[in-house]
Structure 1
Amino acid sequence: MVYGFVVLVDPWGVLPFHIPAERPPISTNARFAFAGLARSQSFDAAIIGTSTSRMLRPAALNEAFEARFANLAMNAATAYEQSRLFEVFLRAHPTPRAVVIGLDHVWCDAGPLQRYTPRDFPESFYEASPWPALREMLSFYAVQEAGRQFAVLTGLMRPRYGRDGYTRFLPPEDRYDAARAATHLPPLPPETHRHIETAPTDLPLPPMALLDRMVTATPAPTTLVLVFMPRWLGSQGAPGSGSAAVTEACKRQVVAMARARPGTVVLDYWRASPITREPTNYWDEMHYRDAIAERIEAPLSRAARGAPGASEDYVDLTP
């Protein structure tokens, strides 16, 4: 009876049959919550990334792209996990209106490819067939989440995430403490007033193979935007350093992918800029504040028309 309840409620919206109802994401582990959301026909566009992309609001992009976005960015998601979620989305939406992929350090990792984090990743949720997901319903976690989803569906509890995947996960802006935030920021390199080019290295970057498959698989009519997210300048690596060389190699490979797929837009915020050199723009070295999210959303909206324009905040690397 308990198993039947879990299957009918289908807390994550991934089973081949269940009670007909729209299921908002309810699990704190987005790897469970977003596999079903990626299949939802309520959306025809997606934001893929880590927590550095979670502050992007689907509602701010929908009109410009003439699309309905779901924010599928997941905290600390590996490149592999992001690629698997992208596969699910693309199978359910063979010709999406738009895809925005937020790029950060996980895509530019020169070490062995990391597949998972300590967070559970339910591989069966990401397969083409929905039937293997039935195995995941035989757990105490599934029972717990079925109870939560049932409470949401019956109006007894509010969903943890927005129905489009967006939720504000950082503290409220009125609680921002510049002095406290500064303690989480590494010091700036000696010269910060301009971007200094660093020669790229030839070191192989395993995640780039996954990204190349994603870019190649994106249908030609789909608007594809790749965005290097604005990491705090003090954590980017000093010009001429090994880490800076790896980053430049990563950017060079991404631009090569964009050249192979006409119409792809590449925006680079991962550089010295008015955003990345100002400490009060950040909660910590990875996560920017609301006003910066809005400064990213505006060029993204212009990129929907293929012309993001010039800015000191970023460089358009589009070939």
Structure 2
Amino acid sequence: MPSSISSSDPKSGAGPAAWRRFAVLFAATAAGVGAAVYLFVAIVDPWDMLPLSPRWHRVPISINARYTMPALAVSARFDSAMVGTSTGRLLQPAIMDAPFDARFANLAMSSASPWEQDRLLRLFLRHHAAPRFVLIDIDAAWCFAAPRNLSTGNRPAPDWMYVGSPWRGYADIMSLYAVQEAANQFMWLTGRKRQRFGADGYTTFLPPDSRYDPRWVAAQFRKEIFDTSMARGPAAPPVSMPMLAGLVAAIPAGTTTILWFPPTDKERQGAPGSTVAATRAACRAAVTAIARAAPRTMVVDFDIPGPVTGTRDNFWDSIHYRQSVARLVMDDLAAIHSGRAIPPEHGRVLVPLH
């Protein structure tokens, strides 16, 4: 005789009431776990940008510098800033602070578009009414910018850290990435993780000079394509120059601003008459004009033909120079600041301080 057990059979223990109890318990558990995770992230505050989090000493923890640099930009520990791309990341505040009598934050980020640099420096300026120095790294990101680089970034970034009130972070901070980075920050706070990124923004991202391998470098250069096409007349100023002019104009008049061109391998400089050479010349002319129109602003060009840029052993690839070259750049900037001349084969002062 056929028989069946109904899902509503009270003896089965799986009637509607039991399912409702399970659903309520599951929802309550999920909500509790979610609330606990949210509180963990909000209290640990992995990027040190939430107003109510404990005032613990946190360190930059994320590989994506777009998340870590805002906390440095708003910090009262610094009175000066450097912005740029990876070509500016090798300048060390620990070396630059003493000769400039300043406290620098290196806010340079790999592959930073002009738009990213602009809003990061503006964040710094909103929190520092009278910075002592601002250094802007003028490299290919500015001189060869595409229109899209003026309105978007090259990597994901948390908009709430850059615009509006930091209270907005409580609504926007929750994500799997935030949970991961809160766990990393918590591990550092409790001594279970070593510090990877510098508390002043500086981090060595290239191997030490002792590990320099010319064969590996030669292989890197073979992967690159250098433009040798011939230009037809002078190039137009880069599309990024109005943004740079606006950014320089936003810097307080009492701040010393240094616009500097980092050294690149000679193959990046373009053959005479090439499109690259013409664009570089137009960029320098535009940057020079911007500096001359701004108070206490100077331009230093290290990207010139000579023994530094002409020696491949000074580079890891065509744009990333070795730490010994970084030290040369820092020493020369310090010398220029103190009023001393630098060797003409190292660089040129296109616009002196005025």
The alignment's TM-score, normalised by the length of structure 2, stands at: 0.83
Max radius of gyration: which structure?
Answer: 2
Matches within 5 A, 1:50-65: 50-65=85-100
Structure-2 separation of matches of 1:217 and 1:308:
29
What's the CA shift for 1:223? 1.5
Matches within 5 A, 1:1-319: 1-109=36-144, 111-114=146-149, 115-185=151-221, 201-319=234-352
Q: How many residue pairs get matched?
A: 311
What's the CA shift for 1:285? 0.8
- Once the two structures are superposed, residues 15-68 of structure 1 have per-residue CA deviations (whole angstroms, 9 ceiling, x without a partner) of 222111222110000001111111111111111010001111111110111111
SS in 2 for 1:119: coil
Equivalent residues of 2:42, 2:170 under 8 A apart: yes
Structure 2 unmatched runs, 5+: 1-35
Report the residue type matching 2:96 in the other structure. Answer: L
- Once the two structures are superposed, residues 187-211 of structure 1 have per-residue CA deviations (whole angstroms, 9 ceiling, x without a partner) of 999xxxxxxxx99835242211221
What's the CA shift for 1:316? 0.7
Report the residue type matching 2:344 in the other structure. Answer: S
Report the residue type matching 1:176 in the other structure. Answer: Y
SS in 2 for 1:113: helix
Report the residue type matching 2:252 in the other structure. Answer: P
Report the residue type matching 1:59 in the other structure. Answer: A
Structure 1 unmatched runs, 5+: 190-197
What's the CA shift for 1:144? 0.6
SS in 1 for 2:47: coil
Structure-2 separation of matches of 1:303 and 1:38:
25
Report the residue type matching 1:183 in the other structure. Answer: A
- Once the two structures are superposed, residues 140-163 of structure 1 have per-residue CA deviations (whole angstroms, 9 ceiling, x without a partner) of 100110111111122221222011
Structure 1 residues 129 and 303, CA, compared in 2 at 3 Å: closer, same or farther?
farther
Query: Alignment identity in percent?
Result: 44
Structure 1 residues 302 and 149, CA, compared in 2 at 3 Å: closer, same or farther?
same
Report the residue type matching 1:254 in the other structure. Answer: V
Equivalent residues of 1:113, 1:206 under 8 A apart: no
Equivalent residues of 1:263, 1:306 under 8 A apart: no
Report the residue type matching 2:281 in the other structure. Answer: E
SS in 1 for 2:146: coil
Structure-2 separation of matches of 1:98 and 1:110:
25
Report the residue type matching 2:111 in the other structure. Answer: A
Structure-1 separation of matches of 2:116 and 2:214:
33
- Once the two structures are superposed, residues 198-229 of structure 1 have per-residue CA deviations (whole angstroms, 9 ceiling, x without a partner) of 99835242211221112111112212111101
Equivalent residues of 1:199, 1:248 under 8 A apart: no
Q: Which moved more, 1:59-68 or 1:131-140?
A: 131-140
Structure-2 separation of matches of 1:260 and 1:275:
30
Equivalent residues of 1:200, 1:246 under 8 A apart: no
Equivalent residues of 2:84, 2:117 under 8 A apart: yes
Equivalent residues of 2:208, 2:323 under 8 A apart: no
SS in 1 for 2:171: helix
Structure 1 residues 200 and 251, CA, compared in 2 at 3 Å: closer, same or farther?
farther
Equivalent residues of 1:27, 1:160 under 8 A apart: no
Report the residue type matching 1:207 in the other structure. Answer: S
SS in 1 for 2:299: strand
SS in 1 for 2:136: strand
What is the root-mean-square deviation of aligned Cα atoms in Å? 2.1
- Once the two structures are superposed, residues 272-299 of structure 1 have per-residue CA deviations (whole angstroms, 9 ceiling, x without a partner) of 1211110100011111111100110011
Structure 1 residues 261 and 147, CA, compared in 2 at 3 Å: closer, same or farther?
same
The alignment's TM-score, normalised by the length of structure 1, stands at: 0.92
